[in-house]
Structures are given as structure tokens and as C-alpha cells.
Structure 1
């Protein structure tokens, strides 16, 4: 099975209490959200934090596409509830378009 890796970035609001609350929520991500992630073809997901910057790595199988994930998420009330909750902590990157949150990073070096 073909695997691909994507890296994305997002910012949190500059508030240490909100950042800690965000981290706490990610210790127990809702089961419906985890199922949705896996059902979309994402096989591994990691999120890292420094300051108010988030960095996500996803490893996906051949069935994954950002478009199909977006459509699945839009139809899932629990995922929409989770995303609304996350917007309380997250903010778009300065170069993001309206309603864009996680932005795909360009690979500039690989060893």
C-alpha cells in the first residue's frame, strides 16, 4: 500500500491558559474524531507545539485526499463540534485565506 506524508502548520491564540487547555483536550480526543481521522485514510497523525505554533505530520494511505476528508468532516456533526471547539484555541496563520486553519507546508529539504 502506498504511503505519503504531509506536514501542516497552524497557530494557537497567544494565551498560555488556552494553549494548555488545547494540549489537555488532545490527551483525550473524542472517539468519533479519531474514527473520522482513520476512516479518511490517515494512518498516523502527530501534532507538535512550540510557543503558539502547531506543527502536524500526517501519514496517509492511497485512499486519502484532502478533498474527500473535508467532505466527510462536513457531514459529521461530532467532527464539526470538535472543530468549533478547536477554533476557540486556534487562529489562522497570517498568510491563510479566510476559514483556512491548517496550512500545508512545502518541503524544502530532505536527507
Structure 2
């Protein structure tokens, strides 16, 4: 019997990209080596699990993957954005990045800063 048949929601898998400015590679890696506890707690409280960010040094692309396990994604993302410490983190890290979303101004506004990707294959 699968976990969904047993009533355990496996989560919604998401992936996003943004470009890291080459002059900020060291700063970006450093801040992510010690993410602020308030930010980590908010991520967990907003039902995000298995969150990873990968970096391609040839293109500068940051590739994020995560699993959302809640029941109200929009509501949880609104709660995330309402946290002043998260917004402070976003302001800092946005300065290290260039969005690939046309018209994006920051992580704290629409359209979103990180470009969502379509999943075209998954082998569990």
C-alpha cells in the first residue's frame, strides 16, 4: 500500500531558479552556511521540507528544490512573507542574485523572484 493510500500526503515537489551574481559567490555561500534560525524555523513552520539549493559555477544558476507538505500553499507563503526576519533575509540574498522572471523586483513582491520550473520527469 502506498503512503498516499495510507493517508500520508507525500508533498508537492517544487523547483526554482535564479542567477547568482559572480561577485557575490563567496558571500552567498557564507550566509547559507549559517542561515538565520528565525528563517529556518519559518521555513519549517510553513510546511517546507527537503529544501536544497544547488549552484552551477558555469552559468551562475542557483537551482532550488523543495517539498511542500501543507494544505494551503498560498497561505503558508503569505505567512512566510509576513515574517520581518525572512523579509530581511530576502533583501540581503536578493542583492546577490539576478532574477530570471520578467518584471521581478524582489522576493517580497509579485511576480516572484525565483523562476518556477516545470517538472518533466520524476522517478520516486
TM-score (norm 1): 0.85
Task: Report the TM-score, using the length of structure 2 for normalisation.
Answer: 0.77
Runs of 4 or more consecutive aligned structure 1 residues displaced over 4 Å after TM superposition? none
For residue 36 of structure 1, report the CA deviation from its aligned partner. 0.6
**Structure 1 unaligned runs (5+)?**
none
Q: Secondary structure at the match of 1:109?
A: coil
Q: Does 1:86 align with 2:93?
A: yes
Higher relative contact order (CA 8 A, sep 6+): 1
How big is each residue's C-alpha offset from its partner over 1:13-70, in whole Å with a ceiling of 9 and x where there is no partner? 132xx111101110100000001100111022000001210001101213351x2233
> Between Structure 1 and Structure 2, how many residues are aligned?
107
SS in structure 1 at match of 2:40 = helix
Query: Is residue 8 from structure 1 mapped to residue 16 from structure 2 by the alignment?
Result: yes
* Distance in 1 (alpha carbons) for counterparts of 2:25 and 2:116: 21
Alignment RMSD, CA only? 1.6
Which of 70, 75, 91 is 1:68 aligned to? 75
User: Comparing both structures, which one devotes a greater share of its residues to strand?
Assistant: 1
Unaligned ranges ≥5, structure 2: 1-7, 106-111
Contact 1:40 1:63 in 2 (8 A): no
